Structure 1
């Protein structure tokens, strides 16, 4: 059996071009495989798909879905509190809505939250108890 893994996360967005500009400002690279209604943004070890929200909902067959419900969060981990603060500032400068500015948290790390242009919740964190490999990938045992 192959190990469970996520290779693609798809976010429903109101305006694909606007979402592309936002994620490019945060370091994602737009793939040449992108099309008008769906952009594939290349990150380290994962691809983020930005799909026209109405098309995504229609394809999923569930009808109306609430925008940015907060029942899920995407996370980016960094190797220092300073890197967390810098990424958070870049996200806000690119148009993200601040939710919780980065600060020391009860479990001993440093984290904050923002919502992207379409209301998707992101956490940015430094966990001093976790190791990131040379590519910035989380290494858990």
Structure 2
């Protein structure tokens, strides 16, 4: 059986579930009633975001809880304009995100910037003039 190409949930390992939950709620994410003290679920368009204790997530996956640092992963949020990227970046920083790279024109022809959540997870905010979002906010690939 082939794996269907879809993403249903992203789970972030965090140092403090309650503190990270508060951060994402400040950003405007809506917490699901399925959440509890050990895990938080946020409703997103077409997928979900989970926050789970970092050591618990490592144990569940059967891997060592290595030191935090660059993981080689960034979560992207594509927006409809450069102005929307700037506004989203400013909002994230006002909610406690760490600015990593201020939005700017980038080599691939778009406009993007990065912030980090309280655990250092990278979020890219981008406007890509070559790949637009549909009316429901989903990126449309050519």
TM-score by length of 2: 0.93
> How far, CA to CA, are the matches of 2:31 and 2:44 in structure 1?
9
In structure 1, list runs of 5 or more residues that go unmatched. Answer: none
User: 5+ residue gaps in structure 2?
Assistant: none
**3-state secondary structure, aligned to 1:132:** coil
CA contact (8 A) 2:103 2:112 kept: yes
Residue 2 (structure 1) shift: 6.2
Moved over 6 A (4+): none
Partner of 1:136: 137
Residue 16 (structure 1) aligns with: 17
User: Aligned equivalents of 2:69 and 2:12: distance in 1?
Assistant: 10
Q: Which whole-Å deviations, capped at 9, do the CAs of 1:34-71 have from their partners, x for residues lacking one?
A: 11110001111110000011211111111222324241
Instruction: Tell me, in whole angstroms, the C-alpha distance in 2 between the residues paired with 1:46 and 1:103.
Output: 28
Q: Deviations over 1:87-136 (max 9, x none)?
A: 11111111111110001112221100111100101110000111101111
Q: 1:68 to 1:135 in 2, by over 3 A?
A: farther
Report the counterpart of residue 57 of structure 2 in structure 1: 56
TM-score, structure 1 normalization: 0.94
Tell me the number of residue pairs that the alignment of Structure 1 and Structure 2 aligns: 141
1:35-114 correspondence to structure 2 within 5 Å: 35-114=36-115
**Which residue of 2 is the match for residue 32 of structure 1?**
33
